[in-house]
Structure 1
Amino acid sequence: MKNAILGPLLLLGAGVLAAPVLPVLAQDAAPVATPYVMPDTEVWDMPAAHGQTYRIYVSRPAGEVPEGGYPVLYVLDGNAMFAGFAEARRIQGVYSQGLDKMIVVAIGYPNDLPYDPRRMGDFTAPIAHPVLKALYKDHPSGGRDRFLSFLMDRVRPEIARRYGVNPLRQSLYGHSLGGLFALHVLYSRPGAFHTIIAASPSIWWDDQAILAEERAFRARLEKEPALASGSRLLILAGEREETPVSLTDSIALGKRLEPLSALGLRSSHMVLDGETHITVPSRSVTTALRAAMQWP
């Protein structure tokens, strides 16, 4: 069902919206403001098996589906990220370079908050460090695997049912804790996505617990190189990250994973000059779209 995204960040539930009718103004009458409707977008709410409801945003091209189907980029923190990704995708069609010929699917929450508190529960493992556990005792955590199941078993099949997609060209973008989650997806389900983009990943979280997963991932690849054959990982960070370890950890991860190219993992890392932790997403949109469109 066609829907619309109202900006900035004024979100509607499912339903069909007609283009707004602009009133005819009498001379000297004050203009009447109407909501902005973002073209080529749809939105609906989807319940998960674990009882939570998520908001699914879609930006897709008009016209015939290409042979083999559209590439798909899944974006976490959809409330904050979708508008930027959707318009960046759409405007690429002005010069017919092909970067608009993809589908962007953002996963968010049914409210108007840019960052819903539930994200911490969806993107993290159970907290082990006692200090962090005490600090966040009133916040949700530890639900990353059930959220991953929702993404893989509910969202992806629904997108495939509604649109003509290429099952081999699926990418995932996450920022901050979402970037940490994206690394967990790579480590726990290598090959599930052709491209993973981890922007300012919170590797520091829970006393760097993600490093144990990285080591286990490396050991798996050494035994079964085919697991990550052809997969891509792009690590992004801002030059002016407010927490310096966000930058140093990202650079170090990129260097550690470079030798895995011999086992089929194509990894790269990039520092975005002048960007802070919260500005990395807007700066990285086009870079992420290009990474998602790379093939093979």
Structure 2
Amino acid sequence: MTRSWKAGAIALALSATAAQAQQAAPVPAAVPTPAVPGYTMPSTQMWDMTAPNGAIYRIFVSYPGKDIAPPPGGFPVLYVLDGNAMFAGFAEARRIQEGTDIGKSIVVGVGYPGDAAYDIRRLDDLTGGPPPPPWEALGKSPYGHWERFLDFLTGPLRTEIGKRFPVNPARQALFGHSLGGLFAAHALLTRPGAFHAIVAASPSLFWQEQEMLKEERDFAAGLASGKIAKVARIMVVAGERDETALERWDPQAFAKRIEPLSAYGLRSRFELYPGEVHITVPSRSVTETLRFAFTWP
């Protein structure tokens, strides 16, 4: 999260420096180049969708070829948050495995209009409260509406995907990284039956630590008492070189705390990726996420 924003600031500064240098140097005559079409990923669709509150989301979908029949009950679905940044990797990994159960599935990236990998709107969609220190300055942007976004994911968007593709409503999975991982953990703890599998990659649990801990306690009590009858399985992954100590410690601690809940039906798993930093964890997790989401059970 923080690394990508820093990288963006550095890139912006380098662009400004390069522009100044070009202004100072003689400008060579432009050489015409033939127009080259951009690459279009096979077996994909993209459209913009308006949520009930008027927010517009860019939806990316990767789906099996026409010669692949859906399994009994329909294709399983994986919803990938921060779709502008994450969708392509998941989509191509799915497509090249269409000869297996992993490839006989649908990947839905949920992003925002535009070409930027990350949009500031994610702060509003993926959190339930204000930014903690030292990110208070981000509080100038809207934040804290993750319930509204979760309603959109599990309501209008899921309905629209079901209209366009033959999907299995009982096999709907979720992947989120960083703030998306925080959101994924929140989805498990507060709507345990909304997805059948959840992957929280380097979840920024520190963002609203006390609220998350309360949600954990309520979730554990619900499982132990039998009030929660249906619960997703969850995989938590993190990078050995995540930039801040909290981004390394918190996912491990979270995984350890929920592991005993297997006695009440929660299936959980934790993976620490050697050598990976915060921003590279999603790429490392693609194949394992697809297996976790699409291998039955």
Q: Please, what TM-score do these two structures have when normalized by structure 2?
A: 0.85
Q: Count how many residue pairs are aligned between Structure 1 and Structure 2.
A: 264
* Structure-2 separation of matches of 1:244 and 1:172: 25
Pair 36,226 (structure 1): closer, same or farther in 2 beyond 3 Å: same
* Structure-2 separation of matches of 1:112 and 1:208: 35
* Structure-1 separation of matches of 2:256 and 2:107: 29
Aligned residue number for residue 9 of structure 1? none
Q: Secondary structure of the residue that 1:240 maps to in structure 2?
A: coil
* Structure-2 separation of matches of 1:132 and 1:247: 17
User: Residue 169 of structure 1 aligns to which amino acid in structure 2?
Assistant: R
Aligned residue number for residue 224 of structure 1? 226
Deviation at 1:66, TM superposition (A): 2.2
Deviation at 1:280, TM superposition (A): 0.4
Deviation at 1:223, TM superposition (A): 1.5
Aligned residue number for residue 85 of structure 1? 90
Deviations along 1:224-272, one digit per CA (max 9) or x if unpaired, are 264345x310000001000121111111111111111111110010001
Task: Identify which of 34, 37, 42 aligns with 1:39.
Answer: 42
Aligned residue number for residue 253 of structure 1? 254
Aligned residue number for residue 48 of structure 1? 51
Aligned residue number for residue 119 of structure 1? 122
Task: Identify which of 83, 93, 102 aligns with 2:105.
Answer: 102
* Structure-2 separation of matches of 1:242 and 1:59: 32
Deviations along 1:70-90, one digit per CA (max 9) or x if unpaired, are 010000000000111111100
Deviations along 1:15-59, one digit per CA (max 9) or x if unpaired, are xxxxxxxxxxxxxx9765221111000011100111110011100
* Structure-1 separation of matches of 2:244 and 2:64: 38
Is the contact between residue 225 and residue 263 of structure 1 (CA under 8 Å) also seen in structure 2?
Answer: no
User: Residue 109 of structure 1 aligns to which amino acid in structure 2?
Assistant: Y
* Structure-2 separation of matches of 1:236 and 1:134: 26
Deviation at 1:126, TM superposition (A): 2.5
Deviation at 1:92, TM superposition (A): 1.3
Pair 235,134 (structure 1): closer, same or farther in 2 beyond 3 Å: closer
Counting only pairs closer than 5 Å after superposition, residues 157-168 of structure 1 correspond to structure 2 as 157-168=159-170
Alignment partner of 1:59 is 2:62: yes
User: Residue 247 of structure 2 aligns to which amino acid in structure 1?
Assistant: S
User: Residue 72 of structure 2 aligns to which amino acid in structure 1?
Assistant: E
* Structure-1 separation of matches of 2:205 and 2:184: 11
Pair 208,285 (structure 1): closer, same or farther in 2 beyond 3 Å: farther
Task: Identify which of 70, 77, 80 aligns with 1:72.
Answer: 77
Deviation at 1:133, TM superposition (A): 8.1
Aligned residue number for residue 262 of structure 1? 263
Root-mean-square deviation (CA, aligned residues, Å) is: 1.8
Aligned residue number for residue 193 of structure 2? 191
* Structure-2 separation of matches of 1:139 and 1:201: 21
Deviations along 1:146-195, one digit per CA (max 9) or x if unpaired, are 00111111100111111111111110000000000001111111111000
